[in-house]
Amino acid sequence: MIEIENVSKRYNGLPAVKNVSMTIRAHEFVTIVGMSGSGKTTLLRMINRLVEVDEGTIKIDGVDNRDVSGPQLRRSIGYAIQQHGLFPHRSVAENIGTVPGLLGWTVEKTGERVDELLSLFQLDPAIYRDRYPHELSGGQQQRVGVARALAARPNILLMDEPFGALDPVIRNKAREDLQKIQQQLGTTIVMVTHDMEEALALGHRIAIMDGGELVQFAEPADVLRNPASEFVESLVGKGEKPFRLLAFASVEDLIEPGEASGSPISGQLSLRDALAEFVAQGKTSLPVKDENARIVGQITLDSLVRNGSGTP
Ligand code: ADP
Ligand code: MG
């Protein structure tokens, strides 16, 4: 758990972060989103004390983060950034083994961990262990950067626009991988992004920054339904909002009795994917099946559109 309490930071007399309070739960995936210069990076870097707070406190699992030394703190918290920061003259294995090395792990234990992480990130250890960063694609470098941040099994991972440099297709894949890994390991993740789409897709909750202030901290569907201000409303996009909301409800929420024709869709499907099915099949109603492929009713395009627009 990370408790940020009334934290402020000024640079040259100008506020960068203004009196921010928020609590990030253990195992939570929180995204911090906002325009450039809104204080996201400063807030993130105050958690691992790459930046010191001017006012306020940050507690990690109940302990003030100033009660331990900065380097010691940073060895226990993973940190991954956009320019992945890999050491160019060290192999992939040496890069990933950096923090375990600092912590005094044996060569054998570190080697096992390196291979485990490479496998987790779908990089064959036999092939990639001894490569150098320049021998990897941008997406692979990024994965090694995140693997390095996770090497010593930190409970907390801080990420600053980790996928910013990746092209859109690889970025989607990287997001999915990260989501899976987070579910698997239960790591608490705080990720900064300027991309609302990414924030909504990944965050259990989203923190929205504007001019150094935290203007909303809520679940994605909540942010879409009840934006805290005009600014948040503009950020989530008035026009795209109904469409985005569809991702947070599933077909089974809208099942009704009836026998539609067409190829059945799963009750687990998000309404966003269901909309794609309506379009692909050219239908206005579709049969819905359960896990055993049994038809359990139907969904209509009408009800989906009503749900998306927020009218019951
Ligand atoms: P974001 O990550 O949201 O783009 P930052 O946290 O990097 O925003 O910056 C917030 C504000 O603080 C900006 O106005 C920026 O210019 C300023 N700032 C950030 N770091 C420094 C620094 N080391 N020295 C002076 N000003 C800084
Ligand atoms: Mg930044």
> Tens digit of pLDDT for each residue in 237-286?
766 777 777 888 899 989 999 989 999 999 999 888 888 888 888 888 99
The pLDDT score that the predictor gives to residue 204 is 94
* Residues lining ligand 1, Cβ inside 6 A: 11, 16, 34, 36-42
Return the percentage of the chain with pLDDT > 90, whole number: 57
Q: What is the mean pLDDT of residues 17-27?
A: 97
CATH topology of domain 244-309: CBS domain Like (3.90.1280)
User: Domain 2-237 class?
Assistant: alpha beta
Report the pLDDT value the prediction gives residue 283, as an integer from 0 to 100: 84
Quick one: pLDDT band at residue 44, thresholds 50, 70, 90?
very high
Most ligand 1 atoms within 8 A of CB, residue of 41, 50, 52 to mutate: 41
| Neighbour tally for 221: CB within 10 Å | 14
Q: What pLDDT does residue 248 have?
A: 81
pLDDT at 145 > cutoff 50: yes
Report pLDDT for 312.
46
Q: What is the reported pLDDT for 70?
A: 92
Q: Is the pLDDT higher at 49 or at 75?
A: 49
CA of 10 to the centre of ligand 1 (A): 9
**Is residue 120 pLDDT above 90, yes or no?**
no
**Mean per-residue pLDDT, 277-304:** 90
Would the pLDDT of 178 be above 90?
Answer: no
Atom of ligand 1 nearest to the CA of 36: 4
Nearest CA to ligand 1 atom 5: 39
- Average pLDDT (116-120) is 89
Mutate to test the pocket of ligand 1, among 17, 40, 42 (most ligand atoms within 8 A of CB): 42
Determine the Cα–Cα distance for residues 78 and 185; give it in Å rounded to an integer.
13
**From CA 233, how far away is CA 30, in angstroms rounded?**
19
Question: Considering the chain, what is the average pLDDT of its residues?
Answer: 90
Q: Mean pLDDT, to the nearest integer, of 26-39?
A: 95
CA of 48 to the centre of ligand 2 (A): 15
Residues 6+ apart with CB under 8 A from 183: none
Q: How far is 162 from 79, CA to CA, in rounded Å?
A: 10
Residue ranges with CB less than 5 Å from ion ligand 2? 41
Backbone phi and psi for residue 36, each to the nearest 5 degrees, phi listed first: -60, 135
Whole-number pLDDT of residue 95? 93
Q: What predicted TM-score, i.e. pTM, was given to this entire model?
A: 0.82
Q: Do domains 2-237 and 244-309 have the same CATH topology?
A: no
What pLDDT does residue 308 have?
A: 64
Cα separation of 108 and 126, whole Å? 16
Residues ≥6 apart with Cβ < 8 Å to 240:
none
Question: Looking at residues 163-167, what average pLDDT do you find?
Answer: 76
Percent of the chain at pLDDT > 70 equals 97
Q: Residue ranges of the domains in the chain?
A: 2-237, 244-309
Average confidence (pLDDT) over 208-237:
90
The stretch 187-209 carries a mean pLDDT of 92
Smallest-distance ligand from the CA of 32: 1
